[in-house]
Structure 1
Amino acid sequence: MKKIEAIIRKSKFSVVKKALHDVDVNFFSYWDVTGLGNEKEGHVYRGVSYSTSDIQRRYLSIVVNDDFEQITIDAILKSAATGDVGDGKIFVSDISEAYRIRTGEKGGGTLKKISK
């Protein structure tokens, strides 16, 4: 199992969510987060100066079976990209075990309903 964490633009969240649903990744958690970016200079919009060093983003946490790892990454890469600086990052790590609290079941079957 893999844990895929993605930090994306808030404006791309609905597109990314649809792309994940389209590849059958139907469960994930997300949070609104603020991060620091590489851009150091401020911008002026309608006469008001504002800092661009604090960046509003959306953080996604997705756990998938190994066979869904690349499918999930590709869906995020294609749907979250604008081609501009600040599109975000994806991090992948191993998950050693998962448990379904309701039944006590463990393993990869806890991540996706499996027909019997």
Structure 2
Amino acid sequence: MLMIKAVIRPEKSGEILAELSEAGFPAVTKIDVVGRGKQRGVKVGNVVYDEIPKEMLIMVVDDEHKDDVISIISRKGKTGQAGAFGDGKIFVSPVLEAYTISSGTKGL
């Protein structure tokens, strides 16, 4: 199992979630977050905005579905043909175990 965390532009969230659900990946946790990437925020005049609103999508998938999920998030999260700074990041981490709280069953 793998945990996929994607930090994305808020305006791309609906499109990404719809595509994930349609592809058979409806289980997603969405969190409003703020932060900045390598570009160190946005400078407008003399003001630097270093807490840019983003959304984080978190999901756990079987290893064989990793590429499908990453492809959907990358394709739907990109702005324009080539993308742009601030489109986001995707992080993949191993998950050793998962349990359903209500039943205590192990696995997804």
Task: Give TM-score scaled by structure 1 length.
Answer: 0.81
Q: How does 1:62-77 map to 2 (within 5 A)?
A: 62-77=59-74
Matched, 1:97 2:97: yes
Give me the whole-angstrom Cα distance separating, in 2, the residues matched to 1:4 and 1:95: 10
Indicate how the Cα distance of structure 1 residues 68 and 7 shifts in structure 2: closer, same or farther if over 3 A, else same. same
Change (3 A) 1:40 1:8: closer
- Which residue identity lines up with residue 8 of structure 1 in the other structure? I
| Distance in 1 between residues matched to 2:98 and 2:43, nearest whole Å | 44
Q: How many residues of Structure 1 are paired with residues of Structure 2 in the alignment?
A: 104
Give the alignment's TM-score, normalised by structure 2: 0.86
How far off is 1:53 after superposition?
A: 2.3
Identity, in percent, stands at: 35
Ranges in structure 2 where 5+ consecutive residues have no aligned partner? none
Query: Which one of 25, 38, 52 corresponds to residue 55 of structure 1?
Result: 52
Secondary structure of 2:27's match?
coil
| Counterpart code for 2:87 | D
Structure 1 66/40 Cα, relative in aligned 2: closer, same or farther at 3 Å? closer
State which structure, 1 or 2, has the greater radius of gyration over its C-alpha atoms: 1
- Do the aligned residues in 1 keep the contact of 2:6 with 2:88 (CA within 8 Å)? yes
- Per-residue deviation at 1:43? 2.0
Could you list the runs of 5+ residues in structure 1 that have no partner in the other structure?
112-116
* Residue 43 in structure 1 maps to residue 44 in structure 2: yes
Distance change >3 Å, CA 7–CA 41, structure 1 → 2: closer
